[in-house]
């Protein structure tokens, strides 16, 4: 099991000093073309790859950004990570990816592990409320929060309250008064905010809040499906349903199609695969992970290159995309 060649091996092979090899590898000036050619040849003959640990150790800064999210299996986060990687690569950085599984302890472990890896910066979909323990590392490792804001950090979010209000407003304009809210989860500030938007919109239109229309803990596909099915056992079932996240949206639509209630109006927060294929196609609030990821990585790169930049909360616009299901009128 021969060891990997190091810069020393290359230097010996090319008959130069290690410093010269270093200069060639880093494309520094002041190396004679002939020397450079000789070194390049040795590099490719030996299959030399610079050891990034040694570089990182010497320079103090790593060559990767960290991305910490709930789970990569969620298409929203997968898309987020995808754009982040593309942009990071353009800056010659890799992506160290870590999932929290919604667990505060694990979030902490993962963040500290990334700190130990000397990542250049971190993009985090936060779980815990308080990240005081990160204070020590912030100076050297900028952090951008995504999806859920945290006041003492930079963040990239959408205006959940406003977007939800717009959706509920549309339902009301179409004559709906029995409007359900599926997908609440107290753990996430996002769904909490969306619920707040729902509450505000109803209040504004003088529609009394009916708690049976907003079941708790229905943020996952199956829970949302079950909760939706439950709604049709009510004396007065809803004529419109707001799904607070894409997974809830899938559950809701599954329930509606299984039971033939396809005349119920539906708007989902966030698009999902197939939402456009189903009939009626599902209207949704556009919370584009590509935009969010892009804004986050751009912000992070700014913070990396210009430390001391003023903290900022970036709020991205959302659109209500009409595809049919959200434009169904209330039946008289």
Residues that bind DNA (CB under 7 A): 3-4, 6-8, 15-20, 22-23, 25-26, 29-32, 34-35, 48, 50-51, 54-55, 57-60
Out of a second copy, DNA, none, what residue 31 binds, judged by CB under 5 to 8 A for its kind, is DNA
Out of DNA, a second copy, none, what residue 32 binds, judged by CB under 5 to 8 A for its kind, is DNA
Which CB, 48 or 181, lies closer to DNA? 48
Burial 115-142 (b: 16+ CB within 10 A, else e): beebbbbbbbbbbbeebeebeebeeebb
Q: What's the CA gap between 64 and 95, in Å, rounded?
A: 5
Which residues are near a second copy by CB under 8 A? 1-4, 47, 49-54, 56-57, 60, 62-64, 71-73, 75, 78-79, 81-82, 85-86, 94-99, 112-118, 133, 136-137, 139-140, 250, 253-254, 257-258, 272-279, 307
In whole angstroms, the minimum distance from the beta carbon of 228 to DNA comes to: 52
Q: What's the CA gap between 7 and 53, in Å, rounded?
A: 13
In whole angstroms, the minimum distance from the beta carbon of 307 to DNA comes to: 18
In whole angstroms, the minimum distance from the beta carbon of 70 to a second copy comes to: 11
In 3D space, the residue among 147, 156, 174 whose CA is nearest the CA of residue 322 turns out to be 174
Out of DNA, a second copy, none, what residue 331 binds, judged by CB under 5 to 8 A for its kind, is none
Out of a second copy, DNA, none, what residue 211 binds, judged by CB under 5 to 8 A for its kind, is none
Q: What's the CA gap between 143 and 102, in Å, rounded?
A: 18
The Cβ of residue 305 has, within 10 Å, a number of other Cβ atoms equal to 11
3-state DSSP helix/strand/coil % of the chain, to nearest 5: 45, 15, 40
Q: What's the CA gap between 313 and 279, in Å, rounded?
A: 38
Out of a second copy, DNA, none, what residue 2 binds, judged by CB under 5 to 8 A for its kind, is a second copy
The Cβ of residue 218 has, within 10 Å, a number of other Cβ atoms equal to 29
Which CB, 62 or 197, lies closer to a second copy? 62
């Amino acid at each position: 099991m021969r060891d990997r060649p190091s810069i020393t091996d290359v230097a010996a092979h090319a008959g130069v000093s290690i410093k010269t090899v270093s200069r060639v590898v880093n494309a520094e000036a002041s190396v004679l073309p002939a020397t450079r050619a000789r070194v390049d040849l040795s590099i490719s003959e030996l299959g030399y790859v610079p050891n990034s640990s040694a570089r990182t150790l010497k320079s103090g800064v790593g060559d990767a950004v960290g991305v910490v999210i709930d789970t990569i299996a969620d298409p929203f986060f997968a898309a987020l990570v995808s754009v982040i990687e593309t942009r990071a690569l353009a800056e010659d950085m890799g992506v160290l990816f870590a999932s929290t599984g919604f667990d505060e302890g694990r979030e902490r472990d993962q963040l500290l592990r990334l700190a130990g890896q000397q990542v250049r910066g971190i993009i985090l979909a936060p779980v815990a409320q308080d990240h005081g323990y990160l204070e020590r590392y912030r100076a050297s490792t900028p952090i951008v929060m995504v999806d859920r804001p945290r006041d003492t950090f930079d963040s990239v979010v959408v205006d959940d309250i406003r977007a939800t209000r717009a959706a509920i407003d549309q339902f009301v304009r179409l004559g709906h008064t029995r409007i359900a809210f599926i997908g609440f989860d107290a753990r996430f500030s996002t769904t909490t905010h969306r619920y707040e938007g729902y509450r505000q919109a109803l209040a504004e239109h003088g529609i009394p809040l009916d708690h049976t229309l907003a079941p708790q803990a229905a943020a996952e596909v199956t829970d949302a499906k079950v909760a939706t099915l439950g709604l049709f056992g009510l004396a007065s079932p809803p004529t419109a349903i707001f799904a607070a996240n894409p997974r809830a949206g899938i559950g809701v639509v599954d329930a509606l199609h299984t039971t033939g209630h396809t005349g119920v109006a539906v708007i989902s927060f966030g698009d999902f695969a197939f939402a456009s294929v189903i009939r009626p196609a599902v209207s949704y609030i556009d919370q584009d992970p590509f935009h969010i990821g892009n804004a986050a990585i751009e912000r992070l790169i700014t913070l990396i290159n210009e430390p001391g930049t003023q903290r900022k909360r970036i709020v991205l616009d959302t659109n209500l995309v009409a595809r049919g299901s959200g434009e169904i009128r209330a039946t008289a």
